[in-house]
Structure 1
Amino acid sequence: MKKILITGSTGFLGGAVLANLLQQGNDDHLYLLVRGNTPEEGLDRIQINLRNFGLSEDVVNNVTLKNIILGDLATAESFIDNPLLDEITHVINCAAVASFGKNPFIWKVNVEGTFQFAERMSRVRVLEKFIHVGTAMSCTPEPDSLVTESELVSNREQHIVEYTWSKATIEQMMTERLPQLPLIIARPSIVVGHSNQGCLPSASIFWVFRMALTLGKFTCQMQDRIDVIPVDYCADALVLLLSAEGVLNEIFHISAGTDRSVTFAEIDEAMAKASGTPALGDNYQKVSYKQLSESRKQFKALFGPCNERIMLRAMNLYGHFSELNVVFDNSKLLKLGIRKPSKFIDYVDRCVLSTRDASIAELMQVDFK
């Protein structure tokens, strides 16, 4: 029997992984590393998060205090001596500060705490797999390319945000300094919404599409492609890697790939249909960031109460990513037998419906915490 430790189960991806395993009626024992002053507080946070994934109360209540390990990667020393860790056979490490803002804990959690945790687990004799969740964007891809999995060789100047640099750094540290760790690196592409629940689990990144289409202009072309997957597909892939053979010391993209990536024009059409408004079509304008910043006086009228400075920072950051026009090759993962993901445009109506009562300023808070 596997003894699986999941980190980040109060978050978007970690919550989806936990929901996946619970829905399967998994007989393996689950341990959940969670922040909290008490085990009861940690359990409450996990159960609240699980309800966003559409689970029944009976399934949610299958998570009890026996599953909880209190701990925080920001203070890894507070839990790494827990003797329960010596029984863990599999780790899915989803925990991270996934902020595109200047969160002071990005390096503390994503690099220092994660390495301290990985080093501790590398000394567990029964550990079979340590699945670390990175990001496909950590490789600083060349524009207009099909990106294959490779070792990372980059520097801080190549990264648009501290988050992707932190993810690149921890991958390199674990690979070079922990050769005994049974490591698998999973690099999701752009994770947006849930194929059934829309943005109820999280509105992360979805607001960018709303923002650009509300403005009627952005820094990418309508025919540029973007590699988007739903969080439940990402969870499916991580759970598959738990039992897959011959995958140690490998890197896997969890991505839409060439078949399921979509153009911004397709997203425009799908979102217009879902919201009952005309598509932008030829009325869309590709502009520079300078031209976007000149529109700042319109922001409050278009978006409601908002911080213009943060909105402009968001447009600058996500504008860089949108201009890349890259697709992440997923052939390695598909060879393991996983189905192809849903296209973003196949479930974007659920994302629109689940966010219709929220402003863009409210939705974007999750990415700039």
Structure 2
Amino acid sequence: MRILVTGGTGFVGGAVVAQLLKDGFGPSLLLLVRARTSGDGLARVCAAMDRFRVAPVHRLTLTEANIVCGDLAQPVTFEDDPRMRRVTHVIHAGAIASFSAHPQLDAVNVSGTLALARAVAASPVLERFVHVGTAMACGDSLSGLVPESHELALADHQVVAYTASKAEAERRLRREWPGLPLVIARPSIVVGHTRLGCEPSGSIFWMFRMVQLLGAFTCSLDDRLDVVPVDFCADALIDLAFLPRLRHDLYHVSAGEGSARTIREIEAALARARGVAPLGERFRHIGEADIDRLTPALARELGRGNSRLMAKALRRYGAFAALDYIFDNRRLLGEGTPPPPPVTDYLGVCVRTSESTSVAEQMAWDFK
């Protein structure tokens, strides 16, 4: 068995590598890493594993032989590596997961994904290619419970360029590589870790903090959010990579109807963890026009932070939250994956692990 993982120095991919190491798969791993040398690449992976608190006994099973130096934006760096022809399983979590208009979004998320498929398609022993997309690639025109469907919104109905790039990557993978043993996994909103909180990444958790401090948001307290922890996401991706038989080729990795929570419930749990009173009736449902007026005061209160970036973030995430989507996860549960814990169950550890980190510092995870 030879398992290729991309994105192993990031949040979701790092959680996948951490779990595979704990499960004893270290000698079987190939990790595509942006690095000048395999030594540099190994150092980057080890730094990521430190964030996930992987014990030395597991981390030390990795050597430079596990590293493929390559950049999804420059396929020539990895396409001709002979080890690609011996890969049996792929978990492709590598991507630019930024909500800014990053200039390399399409080069990495679309062209790089197709180049990776081309490189491993030549492997005569390839059994499964798990492509990590995003549930939000469905676009902004649906409502309620979102089913798993290969019909994705075009760019003019995508909320941000990132989700548009992930939708395009899926479409082109299916069209241009019909023989690939492809399984699409679409995580919903990935926030924190059930045991480590925000130590591996503060991605998106800062938005909960900012909304509570602002006391307002562009959706109502009764709108729901479909949030999963990164360790659940990693376990689900590993299941989808290794289960011998799958009933489908597309799965939401999501909270679903059973584990989604309202913004009211999330804010109340956050307040309990911080030892403050929940907003309740003090919460204000604001329009986008109010954001620019309110964020300068918030930036001053936080002591550091770019008010324009905060306003941009509130508009972007407010647009997501106002959709009130729940992503149907019955396919994943039907494969035997346990239900995810609701975000309200582990918000306390996210709060504790964020006490010395500013909102602005956590925002850097999502606005690269």
What is the aligned partner in structure 2 of residue 86 from structure 1? 85
Q: Is the 8 A contact 1:143 1:325 kept in 2?
A: no
How far apart, CA to CA, are the structure 2 residues paired with 1:39 and 1:54?
Answer: 22
Q: Is the 8 A contact 1:141 1:326 kept in 2?
A: no
Alignment of 1:51-200 (within 5 A): 51-142=50-141, 144-200=143-199
**Are positions 1:5 and 2:29 aligned together?**
no
Describe the superposition over 1:250-306 as per-residue Cα deviations: whole angstroms up to 9, x where unpaired: 100000010101111111111111111111111101110111221133133222222
Alignment identity in percent? 42
What is the aligned partner in structure 2 of residue 299 from structure 1? 298
Q: Is the 8 A contact 1:215 1:302 kept in 2?
A: no
Q: CA deviation at 1:105?
A: 1.3
Q: Is the 8 A contact 1:184 1:248 kept in 2?
A: no
**TM-score after normalising by structure 1:** 0.97
Describe the superposition over 1:200-252 as per-residue Cα deviations: whole angstroms up to 9, x where unpaired: 10000110111111000001111111000000000000111122233386100
How far apart, CA to CA, are the structure 1 residues paired with 2:47 and 2:35?
Answer: 14
How far apart, CA to CA, are the structure 1 residues paired with 2:25 and 2:7?
Answer: 19
Helix, strand or coil at the partner of 1:241: helix
What is the aligned partner in structure 2 of residue 246 from structure 1? 245
How far apart, CA to CA, are the structure 2 residues paired with 1:335 and 1:34?
Answer: 34
What is the aligned partner in structure 2 of residue 312 from structure 1? 311
Amino acid at match of 1:184: V
Amino acid at match of 1:208: M
How far apart, CA to CA, are the structure 1 residues paired with 2:120 and 2:84?
Answer: 7
How far apart, CA to CA, are the structure 1 residues paired with 2:150 and 2:335?
Answer: 20
What is the aligned partner in structure 2 of residue 287 from structure 1? 286
Query: Structure 1 stretches of 5 or more lacking a match?
Result: none
Helix, strand or coil at the partner of 1:108: helix
Q: Is the 8 A contact 1:147 1:328 kept in 2?
A: yes
**Are positions 1:258 and 2:249 aligned together?**
no
Amino acid at match of 1:167: K
Amino acid at match of 2:174: T
Q: Is the 8 A contact 2:140 2:157 kept in 1?
A: no
Amino acid at match of 1:232: D
How far apart, CA to CA, are the structure 2 residues paired with 1:297 and 1:203?
Answer: 22
Amino acid at match of 1:242: A
How far apart, CA to CA, are the structure 2 residues paired with 1:205 and 1:336?
Answer: 28
Describe the superposition over 1:100-123 as per-residue Cα deviations: whole angstroms up to 9, x where unpaired: 011111111001111111122222
Identify the range of structure 1 (326-335 vs 296-305) with the bigger mean alpha-carbon deviation: 296-305
Q: CA deviation at 1:153?
A: 3.6
Q: Is the 8 A contact 1:76 1:113 kept in 2?
A: yes
Identify the range of structure 1 (150-159 vs 21-30) with the bigger mean alpha-carbon deviation: 21-30
How far apart, CA to CA, are the structure 2 residues paired with 1:202 and 1:177?
Answer: 34
How far apart, CA to CA, are the structure 2 residues paired with 1:295 and 1:333?
Answer: 41
Q: CA deviation at 1:31?
A: 0.8
How far apart, CA to CA, are the structure 1 residues paired with 2:114 and 2:25?
Answer: 29
Closer/same/farther in 2, CA of residues 260 and 248 from structure 1, 3 Å limit: closer
Q: CA deviation at 1:141?
A: 4.8
Query: How many residues get paired?
Result: 368
Q: Is the 8 A contact 1:7 1:34 kept in 2?
A: yes
Amino acid at match of 1:222: L
Amino acid at match of 1:25: G
Identify the range of structure 1 (52-61 vs 132-141) with the bigger mean alpha-carbon deviation: 52-61
**TM-score after normalising by structure 2:** 0.97
Q: CA deviation at 1:159?
A: 0.9
**Are positions 1:343 and 2:350 aligned together?**
no
Q: Is the 8 A contact 1:141 1:147 kept in 2?
A: no
Q: Is the 8 A contact 2:85 2:119 kept in 1?
A: no
Identify the range of structure 1 (96-105 vs 59-68) with the bigger mean alpha-carbon deviation: 59-68
Closer/same/farther in 2, CA of residues 238 and 297 from structure 1, 3 Å limit: closer
How far apart, CA to CA, are the structure 1 residues paired with 2:288 and 2:53?
Answer: 39
How far apart, CA to CA, are the structure 2 residues paired with 1:143 and 1:154?
Answer: 10
Closer/same/farther in 2, CA of residues 221 and 143 from structure 1, 3 Å limit: farther
Q: CA deviation at 1:359?
A: 1.5
Closer/same/farther in 2, CA of residues 267 and 31 from structure 1, 3 Å limit: same
Q: Is the 8 A contact 1:4 1:28 kept in 2?
A: no
Amino acid at match of 1:221: S
How far apart, CA to CA, are the structure 1 residues paired with 2:187 and 2:175?
Answer: 22
Q: Is the 8 A contact 2:292 2:308 kept in 1?
A: no
How far apart, CA to CA, are the structure 1 residues paired with 2:256 and 2:216?
Answer: 26
